[in-house]
Amino acid sequence: MFLYILGLVAFYYLYRWFREIPRVPDKGNKFVYITGCDSGFGNLLARHLDKQGFCVIASCLTETGEEDLRKACSKKLTTLHLDVRKKESIDKAAAFIKDKVGAKGLWALVNNAGVGTPSGKCDWLTIDDYKSVLDVNLIGVIAVTLSVLSLIKKARGRVVNVASVAGRISFIGEPYSISKYGVEAFNDSLRRNMMHFGVKVLCIEPGGFKTSIADPTAICRNFSQLWEKLPQDVQDDYGPDYLDKMKMGAKKAVETFDPDLMKVVSCMEHAVSAVRPRTRYSPGWNAKFFCLPLSYMPTVLADWVLLRMAIKPAKAIK
C-alpha cells in the first residue's frame, strides 16, 4: 500500500513537471511590467526576463535603480519612476505603458514592490505604522493592478502578485504579515474574476530570503525606534531585556534565510512565461516544510507551536 501511494505521488510530480515545461511563444513582442526593481527579486527578475527576450518595463523608486538597470540590460528594457503610494505616479506610469504596448496590450504585471518595516508587537505600533506598510504592500498592489488591468485583459495576459508565507501565518502581528494576508485575498478574488476574460492571476509566496527587507541591522534599528517611543508602562509589561532578546531573535532568524534569490525569481519567471503556470508558488524550504503545513493546522495547534517559539514578556501570565 505504501509503495502504491509513493508511486502515485511520484507520478503526479512527474506529470506536473512535464506539463509545466512549455513556454509561451513570441517573447520579443510581449511586454512585462515589474514594480520594485531597485534591488532584490524585482531587479533580478527584470535582468532575467530581459535576457530571455521579453520587453521589460522595470519601475524603480530611485534614479540610481533605473540607471543601474539600464547599464546592466539590453536596449529593449525600459525603466520608469514609480512610487506605488502616489496616485499621480501610478497614473503617469500607466499612461506611459498604454502608449508603449499599443494594440498588443500588456502581457504581464508583476507586483513586487514592498516594504518590511515598521515591524513589531501590536501594542508597539500606531495606526500610522500600519498605514505606511499597507499603503505600499496592499493598496499599492491593488492600485497598480487596476491602473493597467484593461491592458492585461486586451492581451489575455497575467498578473503575478508577490505575497509571502507571512500571508498564511502571522507571527508577531506585524503590518507586513497583515498586508500580505490582504494580497492573498486580493489575488484570489482577482483570479476568480479574471478567469472569465482569459487572464491568469498567480501568487508567489516566498519563505525567508536574504533581501533588503530582511536586513538584520534595519530590523533591529526599527525595533529600537519603536521601543523608545513606548510609554513606560508598556516597556514594563515586556521587561528591560525584551528589546535585546527581540534583536537577537531577529538576527538568528535571518541567519536561517536562504541567500539564493533565484529560487524566487525562477518561480516569477515561470509564472510570467509558462503556458500552464501554477496558481501558487511557495519557494523556500521554510515555506514548504514549516509555514505552509502550519497554516493548515487547527488554530489551537498553530498557536501552541508559535507561542513555544515566542519570547515571553516579563509580565506574561504563567
Catalytic residue of the set 4, 15, 176, 281: 176
Structure-block grid coordinates of residue 65 = 535603480
What residues make up the domain containing 288?
A: 25-212+260-309
Domain for residue 13, yes or no? no
CA distance 248 to 235: 18
CA distance 200 to 182: 19
Give the distance between the most distant pair of CA atoms in the chain: 66
Domain for residue 4, yes or no? no
Domain for residue 248, yes or no? no
For 95-115, give the secondary structure using H, E and C: HHHHHHHHHHCCCEEEECCCC
Q: Report the pLDDT value the prediction gives residue 84, as an integer from 0 to 100.
A: 98
Q: Please, which pLDDT band fits residue 180 given cuts at 50, 70 and 90?
A: very high
Strands 280-281 and 108-111 come out as: unpaired
Lowest mean pLDDT among 13-27, 47-61, 62-76, 252-266: 13-27
Q: Report the pLDDT value the prediction gives residue 8, as an integer from 0 to 100.
A: 78
Q: What pTM does this model have?
A: 0.93
Q: What are phi and psi of 138, to 5 degrees?
A: -120, -60
Domain for residue 267, yes or no? yes
Average pLDDT over residues 283-309: 93
Domain for residue 222, yes or no? no
Residue 288 Rama label (left phi>0; alpha psi -120 to 50; beta):
alpha
Domain for residue 132, yes or no? yes
Total number of domains constituting the chain: 1
Q: Report the pLDDT value the prediction gives residue 173, as an integer from 0 to 100.
A: 65
Is 176 one of the catalytic residues?
yes
CATH number where 148 lies = 3.40.50.720
Domain for residue 3, yes or no? no
Q: Report the pLDDT value the prediction gives residue 48, as an integer from 0 to 100.
A: 98
Domain for residue 233, yes or no? no
Burial class of residue 206 (count of CB atoms within 10 Å of its CB; 0-12, 13-18, 19+): buried
For 217-239, give the secondary structure using H, E and C: HHHHHHHHHHHHHCCHHHHHHHC
Instruction: Tell me what percent of the residues of the chain surpass a pLDDT of 90.
Output: 89
Q: Report the pLDDT value the prediction gives residue 117, as an integer from 0 to 100.
A: 93
Q: Please, which pLDDT band fits residue 245 given cuts at 50, 70 and 90?
A: very high
| Mean residue pLDDT across the chain | 94
- pLDDT of residue 1 exceeding 90, the answer is no
- pLDDT of residue 230 exceeding 80, the answer is yes
Average pLDDT over residues 107-120: 96
Q: Please, which pLDDT band fits residue 242 given cuts at 50, 70 and 90?
A: very high
